[in-house]
């Protein structure tokens, strides 16, 4: 069986599916991934055939970090997805014609690619590397970072919020989605939730232990737990052995944000308190930071390598690094800067697996206090680790993808 995956041009959306594609290849299937050009070499190193997304898609980058409010930042993110969608249409269509795949796997934020996949008449699946933006009466809507409230007050709060969330999602997201659907001869949809029901399978890369109880999922949704991968995962730099314990890993987003403040504050506050800091700066230049003796700043480094020793992780709340830390049993300090990070951070807090610290109250002193508090929550992080281990991961995903073609045959 030939399987073609199409991702947005983002490492955080590519890396989680690499183990899935490897699991499918191990089961005798031919796999190809259409993704950002800079990662094609890393895919080749593990034996996955990578294809570049269209340059026009890659040129459209997230600009939400320039915005000053949550609302304007969210609109900016959705605008980026909408702008990419029209270019994804001919890009994936040409790949389908060229490769004739038996099944398609599409990133949840690739609206145009999803329309092409559905119109192709081939079996297809969707995957979400972040919390699923599916409204439920028992769960507060995503985007606000709310915890469940319960009772009459909670029901009233969430009921009102759901009305506004649904209206906003439908007003902002559905016009561009329906435009690309119309270009493929597909009927218009009324609600974004309807979009998530179109594929036969929707893989969600988290677990019930990290989600709020919602009393059931749609039949096409399958939670498989977090999946972590990084290029050359076993590579351990020689300098790592020289870093003293306890180690705090500070991780910035691979998609640019203003989260360089995390690194600067960690270097200022943690080493004087006897902690070593290893910072992966990703979208920021590591040379821009003043690194104290006994600590280190690098642009990229396998988090798995550091997590074997880390006492705590400080991050922006991206699902990738947050769940990697929890899967390793390491507590987390989350300082959300936007996107889905407010909700990720709140779930860490609700799970008693770490601390959520507001960026508006963020100072080196408060960061140190948050790290000390998180260190006391290691038992909660280890509980999450055990639950994640039972999620099924890449093998469960591969089996579910195989069943999509079986159910349609």
- 346: confidence class by pLDDT, cuts 50, 70, 90: very high
Mean pLDDT of 344-367: 94
Which residues, in sequence order, are bridge partners of residue 249? Answer: 278, 313
The predicted structure's pLDDT at residue 176: 95
- 340: confidence class by pLDDT, cuts 50, 70, 90: confident
CB contact set of 324 (below 8 Å; sequence gap of 6+): 226, 228, 303, 304, 307
Which residues, in sequence order, are bridge partners of residue 127? Answer: 107, 203
pLDDT single digits (tens) 155-207: 888 888 888 888 888 888 999 999 999 999 999 999 999 999 999 999 999 99
Quote the CA–CA distance of 5 and 104 in Å, as a whole number: 6
The predicted structure's pLDDT at residue 235: 60
pLDDT score of 41 more than 60: yes
Question: What 3-state DSSP class applies to 280?
Answer: strand
Nearest to 344 by CA among 328, 329, 360, 333: 333
Question: Is the model more confident about 262 or about 214?
Answer: 262
The predicted structure's pLDDT at residue 406: 66
- 5: confidence class by pLDDT, cuts 50, 70, 90: very high
pLDDT score of 86 more than 60: yes
Structural domains in the chain plus CATH codes = 2-225+391-408 (3.40.50.2000), 238-389 (3.40.50.2000)
The predicted structure's pLDDT at residue 290: 93
- 228: confidence class by pLDDT, cuts 50, 70, 90: confident
Quote the CA–CA distance of 248 and 262 in Å, as a whole number: 12
Residues in the chain: 409
Mean pLDDT of 322-338: 94
The predicted structure's pLDDT at residue 230: 82
- Which strands form 276-280's sheet, in the order they lie side by side? 296-298, 276-280, 247-251, 310-315, 332-334, 354-356
pLDDT single digits (tens) 264-290: 999 999 999 999 999 999 889 999 999
The predicted structure's pLDDT at residue 394: 94
The predicted structure's pLDDT at residue 347: 94
Evaluate whether 49 touches 43 at the Cβ level (below 8 Å).
yes
The predicted structure's pLDDT at residue 234: 54
% of the chain with per-residue pLDDT over 70: 98
The predicted structure's pLDDT at residue 408: 57
Q: Name the average pLDDT for the chain.
A: 91
The predicted structure's pLDDT at residue 407: 61
The predicted structure's pLDDT at residue 25: 96
- 66: confidence class by pLDDT, cuts 50, 70, 90: confident
Quote the CA–CA distance of 26 and 39 in Å, as a whole number: 21
The predicted structure's pLDDT at residue 93: 97
% of the chain with per-residue pLDDT over 90: 69
Mean pLDDT of 57-82: 81
- 302: confidence class by pLDDT, cuts 50, 70, 90: confident
């Amino acid at each position: 069986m030939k399987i073609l995956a199409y991702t947005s041009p983002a490492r955080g959306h590519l890396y989680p599916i690499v183990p899935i594609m490897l699991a499918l290849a191990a089961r005798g299937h031919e796999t190809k991934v259409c993704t950002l050009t800079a990662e094609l070499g890393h895919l080749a190193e593990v034996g996955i055939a990578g294809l570049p997304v269209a340059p026009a898609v890659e040129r459209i980058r997230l600009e939400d970090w320039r915005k000053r409010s949550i609302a304007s930042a969210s609109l900016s993110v959705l605008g980026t997805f909408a702008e990419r969608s029209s270019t994804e249409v001919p890009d994936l269509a040409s790949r389908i014609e060229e490769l004739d795949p038996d099944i398609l796997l599409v990133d949840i934020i690739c609206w145009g690619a999803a329309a092409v996949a559905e119109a192709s008449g081939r079996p297809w699946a969707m995957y979400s590397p972040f919390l699923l933006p599916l409204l439920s009466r028992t769960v507060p809507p995503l985007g606000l970072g709310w915890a469940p409230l319960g009772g009459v007050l909670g029901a009233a709060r969430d009921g009102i919020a759901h009305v506004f969330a649904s209206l906003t999602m439908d007003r902002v997201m559905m016009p561009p989605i329906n435009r690309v659907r119309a270009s493929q001869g597909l009927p218009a949809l009324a609600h974004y939730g309807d979009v998530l029901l179109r594929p036969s399978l929707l893989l969600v890369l988290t677990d019930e232990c990290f989600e709020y109880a919602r009393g059931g999922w749609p039949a096409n949704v399958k939670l498989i737990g977090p999946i972590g991968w990084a290029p050359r995962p076993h590579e351990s730099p020689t300098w790592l052995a020289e870093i003293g314990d306890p180690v705090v890993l500070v991780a910035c987003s691979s998609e640019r944000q203003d989260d360089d403040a995390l690194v600067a504050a960690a270097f200022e506050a943690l080493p004087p308190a006897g902690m070593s800091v290893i910072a992966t700066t990703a979208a920021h230049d590591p040379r821009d930071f003043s690194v104290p003796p006994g600590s280190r700043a690098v642009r990229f480094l396998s988090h798995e390598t550091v997590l074997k020793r880390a006492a705590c992780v400080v991050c922006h709340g991206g699902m990738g690094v947050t769940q990697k830390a929890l899967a390793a049993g390491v507590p987390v300090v989350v300082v959300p800067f936007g996107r889905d990070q407010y909700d990720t951070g709140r779930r860490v807090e609700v799970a008693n697996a770490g601390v959520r610290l507001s960026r508006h109250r963020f100072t080196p002193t408060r960061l140190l206090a948050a790290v000390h508090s998180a260190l006391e929550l290691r038992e909660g992080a280890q509980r999450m680790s055990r639950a994640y281990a039972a999620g099924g991961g890449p093998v469960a995903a591969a089996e579910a993808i195989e069943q999509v073609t079986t159910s349609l045959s």
